[in-house]
Each structure stands twice: as structure tokens, then as C-alpha cells.
């Protein structure tokens, strides 16, 4: 043994150093006898003084240690009761030696004398380390497979229990009976529970040292993990929890057998010293995993039908199953106390609720998306929010899911709005004060503001009829939000608009803001979901958006009573106040008044219709009265193609919206020629209007109307409703013109194609923009009325045969026409159109401002333009940046840095 080992052994007891082998029989050193004194007496009788005591103690030590020395070899498979060396019987000499060393004069009186109990402890430890430890270690040299964990622990416990029985037999039969069973004097001053006798103290010392050798013979971490898994596996079987998705539930017989097997194993491990703190830590880890396994098991599935919370089942399991299991294990491990106190039980309930709540929060995005059927799990989450830090965890995790799964370019605005409505309902249920909703909704609201179609979808969804729309418009890829439309159909609840902004001094029911609310938190009076959507923008900005979208909707609405539009304005008045809705009310009054004016004007026209009135006659077909449309000017039915105007007449009806230009938003005013018959009807309508309204003048917006046409071809008659005015004008241009009468004369002689026109001719004939011409041509090609014969040349298909029927080309043209029509469908000018219309004026103003005042930030430029530009500047810093970048491309301004701009010198 080297120097370091000797230094360590001088402080800590090492059996190989401190333990002495049994002393052999030798001639005793009796010393010299005094004159007159006998040579000696009995071997163990009397007190012979220090020299004599030393001799007698040495002889007694030799006899006792030779008798108590353990047999060499491993006796793991031998009954401890048969381990007795016949060559060393318990004679009177051995008994006298044991009594002399343990309770007689041979008891160690100074620190340097050996203690027989300590020697036997070292003998047992050394014997275990030499003969038994290797057999135990062979079970733990490698990683323990999960399926072998039970067998490994049970075998280890059996080996250690056998070795302990072998070592305890000499102690219990020859040493402990000789020790005093009364309380030791040193412990009499201690509390009763800590007072021990000499015999009990010796037994405790021996077991403590032996158990220490047992513990150090096993790899600590591997043993803890194995025991933890065994306890976890036993818990799964006791509670019949499947280990995985493919595992079946444990049968009842295995359930009872697992409980008994676990109990026997724990009691056995505790007897050999493998219980204690390490076993309790392994058990705590196993119970931690078992709690998670139960929470994720089928016992706590979401109740989608009954909508009941899983919390009651969890509490019952904790009280009736989990807590009794803990107390059972505490009893097996002889923990003190074995039963749990009320605070400890409440701690387990809170821990289980926290685990369950965090597990459900991970799927809160799905639960909130299906709010109507997930009320049961929302009750659980609401209860979980009462725990400390639960609200912070919930909002953080939910915001992460929203950012990753919702706020992406791939999600449509309709889909985001639908989920946003569901999120509002969910979080108002979880937190009626709205603090959590304000936290999680902030990034959603910011993202929706950045999308250009958000306001349009919101307002059109409010105007839609959720019961009547069944044509796919309410899909996630459509233009309408089903959640907003459904919410609008619900009755208006009592809602008090809070105009005091927190300064409601006479409100005796006033409540302070929640302690966890943000500084900009605004407490709402009531849970009005639509209000959260309406307040995405500032009130003035939203009213401007509403005016633009409502104007377009009023001009295209199919409802002559405008019930949805009236309801929408009333709802907005209740929520935002009616002080800013004057323009919208005027717009609604205009279309309602137009309905009365149309009736007043149309009646005298019908009474005065005569054959000489060419402007009110139309050729071909039986009389037809189309459904009333609501454009600024409605195009009536026009004659068929391929023939000159016949002398027969057909009813043509013109309806118009009379609107006030001051209150309405800027409307599109594309210029092109309309059919002459419609122009005559417009002039007659205008004269009748002047007769009714006095000196008021009408300015026709032909591009905002719609119309119906009946096309009479050689082999068929086609009827089309809801056409754009430029589509009507383009198809009307394919009527025979002067010099083309031969087309009508050739009818019926097998000709498949009629009159042809090219794009350039149509632009010149109709004075129409090329984009509108091409959109109309694509529409009629898609309807198989026209066919492209050559590049930009189109002809009427008088006879539709398999030879000239190109369904693929027609489908492609139809799709192109729909895309183009959608871009041209708006009645109100977009912000981009308004910006381009006055772009030169704005750019001149910006250049002058930077020249006179020097370098300025974008925000200040926008603010000054709103104040100083004639007619106002209805744009923000984003549009100002666009104008500055265009000026930079022209070389007039330059970016200084950040958002600072100046004149380029």
C-alpha cells in the first residue's frame, strides 16, 4: 500500500489495513513475580494489573477472533444456519473469552486497544469484499436491459440478504446476548426516541457498516435508474396504464401481482440497506414519470361530446390511487412518517394540475380553433391558470404556436380572421377581464393590419348572410369569414360604449385594472367579440375603410331592402358611436332614395311608350324584364348578334343609383362608349329626373353598372346576367355595321363563324382601354361566343360544332377573364389608384418641402402633407416612402440614413 492509501486509512477505516487476523496461540509474557507472590492464578480471574491484563486480553482476543472468524469461500447458495465450523465449537473457554472482552475487564479502556465488535465488523466487510462482492457485481457490470430490470434487482437483493444472514448469525448468537440491554449512560439525556441500549447500538453499528459495503458494491447511478424504472413499471401495471400507443392495458391479475411483487422487492431492498435516501429519490423520479404517464393516458382524454373537464378524474385518481401508493412505498421503505400530511397531499394535487395544464396548453391552439366542442378541456386550462406562473407560461407557449403556425404568408387572411375570432372567444372564457387576450392578440392584430385585404374581408363578411352563402365563399381560401358572418347574426347584446376612457367618476361599480395588465390595457364593458375586430384600426381609419367598402357593396348589393347594410351600420353605431358615420348614412339613404326615384321615373316611361319612340324599343325576342340591379347605371338587354335590328320591340329597363358625390368615396370613371339604345335611355332618364328634382344634373358612371343580354345566334340563344358594362359594349360591337349587311343575308347557309373584329378595331370603335377590351374578349371566348381566329382577331361562333369547339382554350380564357374581372370589379378607386392619380402633385409638394426646410424624416413629411395639401392627404408614411423612392430613381432626392430624406445636390 502506497503512502496516499496509508494517509487515507489513517482517517477512514479500511478493512485491509485496520483489520487484524486472528491471533495464534503463543507463550504469554507474564512478567516477573514479586517476592512472596504466587506465580499466577486463573487465566481470566481477578485483576492482575496492567501486565497481567495485557496477557490475559491477548489470550482472550486470540480465542475469540479465531472462533468468530468467518469461513473462507462464498456461501451464497448455502443455508446460513448450516454455516458453522465444527473445528471451532463454542466451548467454555470461548465463552469466557467473549465475556471478558465484551463485558468484563477486557473491554477496551483506551483508544489504542482493539474492540471486538469493530473487529467483527471489519471481518464481515472484508469477507464480503473478498468472496461475495464479485458475484453481485457481475449483474451490474453492463447496462441493464429494461426487460431484465426486475430480475436483476430481485437477484441482487437475494444475494445480499443471504450474505447479511451469514454475517448476522455469529453476531446475534455470540456477541449481542452478552451486551447490556439497558440504556447507555451517554444517551440517557436524549429524547426517548433517541435512547438506545448497548445491544441495539452494536446491532445498528454492524448493520450500518455492512449496508455501506453493500451500497458501495453497486454502481450508484445505474442502480438508481434501474430501481426507478422498476417502480415506474410497477406503477403502470398497478394502475393499468399502457406504456405506449401499441401496448395493451394490464389485466386485473397482473395488477394485483405487480403490487405484491413491488412490495416484496422494496421491503427486501430496505432490509439489505438499499432503501433509504437513494431508494426514495428513485421512487420520486418514478412517481414523476408515472404522473406524466397517467396525464397522457386514455383516462384523461378530451371529452369532445360531454364537454366535461378531466380535472375531476385526475383529483379522484390522486386521492384514491396515487397517494395510497406513495404511502405504501413509504411503509415498505420504513420512511417516517409513512402517511402524507394535508399540505403534502395538496402539493401533489397542485403538481398534477400543473402537469395536466401544461400538457393541455401545448394543444391550446387546436382547442381554441375548435372552441365550440372543446369547452371541457378549456375548463381544465382555466383551473390550471390559478397556479403561480401559469398565465405567463400559457401566453408564451400560445404566442409561439401562433407565430409559427398562423402568422405566415401561406395563411390566407380569411383563415387568420376565422381563427382570431375563435381565439377571442377562447381567451374571453379563460380570462373574462381580457388581459390574456390582449397579450396573445397583439401580434395577430399587428399582422392583420399589414394585410391589404383585411378590412375588405371583415366588412364584406359582416354584410354576408351566413345562412344563404353556400357556394364555397366561406372556405378558408374564400373572401368571407364564416366566424364573422355567424357572429353578426347573433342578437345585439347590451353594450355600453365607454367614451370616458377610464374617467367614469360617477360609476359606483368601477374596478381597477388587473395587476398583470399591460400599461395600455383598456377594460371593456362586456364581451363583444365584433368590437375586437372593429378596433383593429383607429376609429377614423376604420370609418374610412368602411366608407370605401360599403360604397362598393351598396352599388352591387342584390337585396333591394339593404337589410344587412342597415344592420351593419346599427351595430357599428352601438360599438363605435354614430358621430363618425354621417357619410355612411348618407350613402345608404342615397341608394334607398334611388329605389323610389327609379319607380317614379319608370312609370311614366311605360305609359308614354309608342312605336315612334325608337329610343325605348329593342329588337328581337319576347318581352323580358330582368331582375333589378343596383349599379350607378344598369345596362339593359341588348339585341342579338348577326342580324340587323328588327322592327319588333322588347322591354328594356334602366335603373340608376343617384348618389351624392360629396359623401361617397372616389368612384372609378373608365371612359368608353355604350350601345346607342342605352344612351338614348340615359338621356330620357335624365330628362325625367330633371323634371322631378329640378335643376340637379346627372353624371353617368357607365363603368359601375351591370347588365343582362340575350344573344341570338344561328343555332342557339344565350342569356347572360350580371355582366360588366364593358363586356356588354364589346359584344354589342360585333353587331353588323353599315356595309356588313351581307352577314345577315348569309345566315342559314352553313356558315359557322360570323363577324370578326380585332383588338385595335374595338379600341377605336368603343374608345375603350386595351385592358378592358382584352378582359371582355377573354370572357366571351370562355363562354364560347367568340373564337380567336388569328392573333388579336376574334369572330362570332354562329354555329357551335365539334370542329370549332375548343373546350381547353375556352376554360383557359374563362379563368383568365375571371382573374382580370376580379381586378376590375371594384367600384371604388383603390388607394393605389388614388395615389397614382395625384402622384405628380404629391411629388412636387415633397420636392418643394425638402428644398425649403432641408432634410426631413418620413413621419414628419406625411404629417405636414396631411395638414397642408389641398383636399387632404389620405395616406400614411408607407405611401410617402413609395413616392420618395420614385423621386430617388429620378435623381431628385436621396436617402440620408434611416428614414431621413433630402434633396440631391
pLDDT in tens, 775-822: 888 888 888 888 888 888 888 888 877 665 666 666 666 666 565 555
Q: What is the mean pLDDT of residues 414-420?
A: 92
Q: How many CB atoms lie within 10 A of CB 436?
A: 22
Distances (CA, A) of 722 to 472, 557, 728, 778: 19, 12, 10, 16
Q: Check whether 17 has a pLDDT greater than 70.
A: no
pLDDT for position 355: 92
- CA 381 – CA 517 distance, rounded (Å): 20
Instruction: Kindly indicate the confidence band of residue 80, based on its pLDDT and cuts at 50, 70 and 90.
Output: very low
Sheet holding 786-790, edge to edge: 753-758, 793-797, 786-790
pLDDT for position 501: 46
Across 49-63, 189-203, 580-594, 694-708, least confident range = 189-203
C-alpha cell at 426: 377562447
pLDDT for position 393: 94
Tens of pLDDT, residues 857-874: 888 888 888 888 877 777
pLDDT for position 115: 87
Q: Check whether 614 has a pLDDT greater than 50.
A: no
Partners of residue 756 on adjacent β-strands: 795
C-alpha cell at 782: 370562355
Instruction: Kindly indicate the confidence band of residue 630, based on its pLDDT and cuts at 50, 70 and 90.
Output: very low
Q: What is the mean pLDDT of residues 48-75?
A: 80
- CA 514 – CA 524 distance, rounded (Å): 12
Across 543-557, 620-634, 641-655, least confident range = 620-634
Q: How many CB atoms lie within 10 A of CB 677?
A: 23
Mean pLDDT of the chain: 77
Helix (H, G, I), strand (E, B) or coil at 805: coil
Instruction: Kindly indicate the confidence band of residue 723, based on its pLDDT and cuts at 50, 70 and 90.
Output: confident
Across 76-85, 752-761, 845-854, least confident range = 76-85
pLDDT for position 11: 58
pTM: 0.69
Nearest CA-CA partner of 426 in 502, 472, 488, 369: 369
Q: What is the mean pLDDT of residues 451-467?
A: 80
Nearest CA-CA partner of 723 in 757, 772, 767: 772
pLDDT for position 625: 33
Q: Check whether 829 has a pLDDT greater than 70.
A: no
C-alpha angle with apex 289: 285 to 290, nearest 5 degrees?
Answer: 110
Instruction: Kindly indicate the confidence band of residue 826, based on its pLDDT and cuts at 50, 70 and 90.
Output: low
Tens of pLDDT, residues 156-206: 999 999 999 999 999 998 888 888 766 656 655 656 555 567 888 888 899
Q: Check whether 492 has a pLDDT greater than 80.
A: no
Cβ-based burial of 283 (10 A; exposed 0-12, middle 13-18, buried ≥19): buried
Tens of pLDDT, residues 136-154: 999 998 888 989 999 999 9
Q: Check whether 621 has a pLDDT greater than 60.
A: no
Tell me which of 875 and 395 has the higher pLDDT: 395
Q: Where is mean pLDDT largest: 29-43, 517-531, 682-696? A: 682-696
> Using N-to-C axis directions, what is the helix angle for 276-295 and 220-238, rounded to 10°?
40
Tracing cell 440504556 back to the chain, one arrives at 183
Nearest CA-CA partner of 634 in 615, 621, 653: 653
- CA 393 – CA 24 distance, rounded (Å): 74
Instruction: Kindly indicate the confidence band of residue 366, based on its pLDDT and cuts at 50, 70 and 90.
Output: very high
Q: Check whether 347 has a pLDDT greater than 50.
A: yes
pLDDT for position 537: 78
Q: What is the mean pLDDT of residues 658-666?
A: 79
C-alpha cell at 825: 370589379
- Could you say which DSSP state residue 612 is in? T
Partners of residue 717 on adjacent β-strands: 712
Sheet holding 900-903, edge to edge: 856-857, 900-903, 893-897
C-alpha cell at 703: 363603368
Distances (CA, A) of 54 to 24, 43, 109, 175, 771: 15, 12, 12, 21, 126
Tell me which of 120 and 515 has the higher pLDDT: 120
378-381 long-range contacts, CB within 8 A, separation 24+: 378/426, 378/429, 378/430, 379/308, 379/309, 379/311, 380/309, 380/310, 380/311, 380/356, 381/357, 381/430
- CA 436 – CA 429 distance, rounded (Å): 10
Helix (H, G, I), strand (E, B) or coil at 704: helix
Distances (CA, A) of 50 to 39, 40, 47, 659: 16, 14, 8, 132
Tens of pLDDT, residues 311-343: 899 999 999 999 999 988 888 887 767 788 899
Across 32-36, 256-260, 579-583, 585-589, least confident range = 32-36
Percent of the chain with pLDDT over 70: 73
Q: What is the mean pLDDT of residues 899-903?
A: 87
CB 642 within 8 A of CB 744: yes
CB 617 within 8 A of CB 649: yes
Q: Check whether 226 has a pLDDT greater than 80.
A: yes
Amino acid at each position: 500500500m502506497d503512502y496516499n492509501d496509508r494517509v487515507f486509512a489513517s482517517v477512514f477505516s479500511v478493512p485491509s489495513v485496520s483489520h487484524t487476523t486472528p491471533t495464534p496461540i503463543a507463550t504469554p509474557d507474564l512478567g516477573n513475580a514479586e517476592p512472596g507472590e504466587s506465580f499466577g492464578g486463573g487465566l481470566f480471574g481477578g485483576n492482575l494489573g496492567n501486565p497481567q491484563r495485557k496477557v490475559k486480553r491477548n489470550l482472550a482476543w486470540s480465542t475469540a477472533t479465531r472462533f468468530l472468524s468467518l469461513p473462507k469461500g462464498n456461501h451464497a447458495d448455502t443455508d446460513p444456519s448450516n454455516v458453522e465450523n465444527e473445528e471451532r465449537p463454542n466451548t467454555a473457554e470461548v465463552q469466557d473469552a467473549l465475556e471478558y472482552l465484551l463485558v468484563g475487564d477486557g473491554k477496551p479502556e483506551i483508544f489504542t486497544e482493539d474492540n471486538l465488535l469493530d473487529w467483527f465488523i471489519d471481518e464481515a466487510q472484508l469477507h464480503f469484499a473478498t468472496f461475495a462482492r464479485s458475484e453481485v457485481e457481475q449483474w451490474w457490470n453492463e447496462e441493464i436491459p429494461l426487460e431484465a430490470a426486475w430480475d436483476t434487482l430481485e437477484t441482487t437483493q437475494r444475494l445480499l440478504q443471504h450474505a447479511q444472514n451469514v454475517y448476522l448469525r455469529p453476531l446475534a448468537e455470540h456477541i449481542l446476548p452478552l451486551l447490556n440491554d439497558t440504556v447507555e449512560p451517554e444517551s440517557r439525556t436524549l429524547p426517548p426516541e433517541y435512547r438506545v441500549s448497548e445491544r441495539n447500538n452494536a446491532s445498528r453499528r454492524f448493520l450500518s457498516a455492512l449496508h455501506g459495503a453493500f451500497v458501495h458494491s453497486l454502481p450508484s447511478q445505474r442502480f438508481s435508474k434501474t430501481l426507478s424504472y422498476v417502480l415506474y413499471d410497477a406503477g403502470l401495471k398497478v394502475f393499468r396504464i399502457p406504456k405506449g400507443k401499441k401496448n395493451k392495458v394490464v389485466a386485473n391479475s397482473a395488477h394485483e401481482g405487480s403490487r405484491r411483487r413491488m412490495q416484496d422487492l422494496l421491503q427486501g431492498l430496505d432490509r439489505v440497506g438499499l432503501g433509504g435516501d437513494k431508494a426514495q429519490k428513485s421512487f420520486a423520479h418514478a412517481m414523476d414519470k408515472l404522473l406524466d404517464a397517467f396525464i397522457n393516458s386514455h383516462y384523461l382524454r378530451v371529452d369532445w361530446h360531454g364537454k366535461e373537464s378531466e380535472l375531476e378524474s385526475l383529483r379522484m385518481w390522486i386521492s384514491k390511487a396515487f397517494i395510497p401508493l406513495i404511502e405504501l412505498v413509504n411503509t415498505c421503505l420504513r420512511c417516517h412518517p409513512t402517511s402524507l400530511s394535508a399540505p403534502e397531499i395538496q402539493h401533489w394535487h397542485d403538481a398534477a394540475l400543473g402537469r395536466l395544464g401544461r400538457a393541455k396548453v401545448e394543444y391550446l391552439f387546436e382547442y381554441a380553433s375548435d372552441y365550440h366542442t372543446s369547452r371541457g378541456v378549456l375548463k381544465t386550462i382555466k383551473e390550471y391558470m390559478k397556479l403561480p406562473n401559469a398565465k405567463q407560461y400559457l401566453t408564451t407557449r400560445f404566442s409561439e404556436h401562433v407565430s409559427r403556425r398562423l402568422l405566415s404568408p401561406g395563411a390566407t387572411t380569411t383563415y387568420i380572421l376565422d381563427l382570431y375570432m375563435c381565439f377571442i372567444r377562447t381567451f374571453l372564457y379563460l380570462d373574462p377581464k381580457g388581459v390574456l387576450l390582449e397579450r396573445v392578440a397583439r401580434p395577430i392584430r399587428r399582422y392583420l393590419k399589414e394585410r391589404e385585404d383585411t378590412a375588405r374581408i371583415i366588412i364584406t363578411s359582416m354584410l354576408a348572410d351566413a345562412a344563404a352563402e353556400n357556394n364555397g365563399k366561406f372556405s378558408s381560401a374564400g373572401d368571407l369569414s364564416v366566424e364573422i358572418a355567424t357572429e353578426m347574426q347573433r342578437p345585439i347584446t347590451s353594450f355600453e360604449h365607454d367614451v370616458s376612457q377610464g374617467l367614469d367618476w360617477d360609476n359606483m361599480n368601477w374596478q381597477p385594472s388587473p395587476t398583470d395588465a399591460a400599461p395600455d390595457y383598456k377594460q371593456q364593458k362586456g364581451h363583444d367579440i365584433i368590437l375586437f375586430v372593429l378596433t383593429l384600426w383607429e376609429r377614423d381609419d376604420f370609418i374610412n375603410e368602411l366608407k370605401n367598402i360599403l360604397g362598393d357593396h351598396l352599388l352591387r348589393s342584390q337585396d333591394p331592402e339593404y337589410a344587412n347594410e342597415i344592420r351593419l351600420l346599427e351595430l357599428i353605431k352601438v360599438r363605435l358611436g354614430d358621430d363618425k358615420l354621417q357619410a355612411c348614412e348618407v350613402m345608404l339613404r342615397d341608394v334607398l332614395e334611388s329605389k323610389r326615384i327609379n319607380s317614379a321615373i319608370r312609370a311614366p316611361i311605360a305609359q308614354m311608350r309608342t312605336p315612334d319612340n325608337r329610343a325605348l324599343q329593342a329588337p328581337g325576342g319576347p318581352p323580358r324584364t330582368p331582375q333589378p340591379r343596383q349599379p350607378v347605371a344598369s345596362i339593359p338587354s341588348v339585341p342579338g348578334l348577326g342580324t340587323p335590328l328588327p322592327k319588333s320591340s322588347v322591354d328594356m329597363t334602366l335603373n340608376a343609383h343617384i348618389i351624392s358625390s360629396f359623401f361617397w368615396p372616389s368612384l372609378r370613371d373608365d371612359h368608353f362608349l355604350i350601345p346607342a339604345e342605352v344612351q338614348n335611355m340615359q338621356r330620357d332618364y335624365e330628362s325625367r329626373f330633371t323634371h322631378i328634382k329640378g335643376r340637379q344634373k346627372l353624371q353617368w358612371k357607365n363603368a359601375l353598372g351591370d347588365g343582362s343580354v340575350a344573344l341570338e345566334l344561328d343555332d342557339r340563344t344565350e342569356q347572360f346576367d350580371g355582366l360588366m358594362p364593358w363586356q356588354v359594349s364589346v359584344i354589342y360591337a360585333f353587331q353588323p355595321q353599315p356595309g356588313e349587311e351581307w352577314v345577315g343575308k348569309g345566315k342559314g347557309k352553313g356558315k359557322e363563324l360570323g363577324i370578326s373584329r380585332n383588338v385595335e378595331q374595338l379600341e377605336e370603335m368603343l374608345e375603350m382601354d386595351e385592358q378592358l377590351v382584352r378582359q371582355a374578349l377573354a370572357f366571351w371566348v370562355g363562354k364560347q361566343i367568340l373564337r380567336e381566329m388569328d392573333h388579336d382577331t376574334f369572330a362570332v361562333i354562329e354555329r357551335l360544332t365539334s370542329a370549332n369547339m375548343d373546350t381547353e382554350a375556352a376554360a383557359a380564357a374563362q379563368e383568365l377573364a375571371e382573374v382580370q374581372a376580379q381586378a376590375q370589379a371594384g367600384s371604388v378607386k383603390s388607394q393605389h389608384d388614388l395615389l397614382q392619380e395625384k402622384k405628380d402633385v404629391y411629388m412636387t409638394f415633397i420636392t418643394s418641402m425638402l428644398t425649403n426646410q432641408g432634410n426631413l424624416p418620413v413621419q414628419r413629411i406625411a404629417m405636414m402633407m396631411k395638414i397642408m395639401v389641398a383636399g387632404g392627404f389620405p395616406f400614411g408614411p408607407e405611401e410617402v416612402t413609395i413616392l420618395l423612392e420614385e423621386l430617388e430613381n429620378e435623381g431628385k432626392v436621396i436617402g440620408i440614413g434611416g428614414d431621413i430624406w433630402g434633396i440631391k445636390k
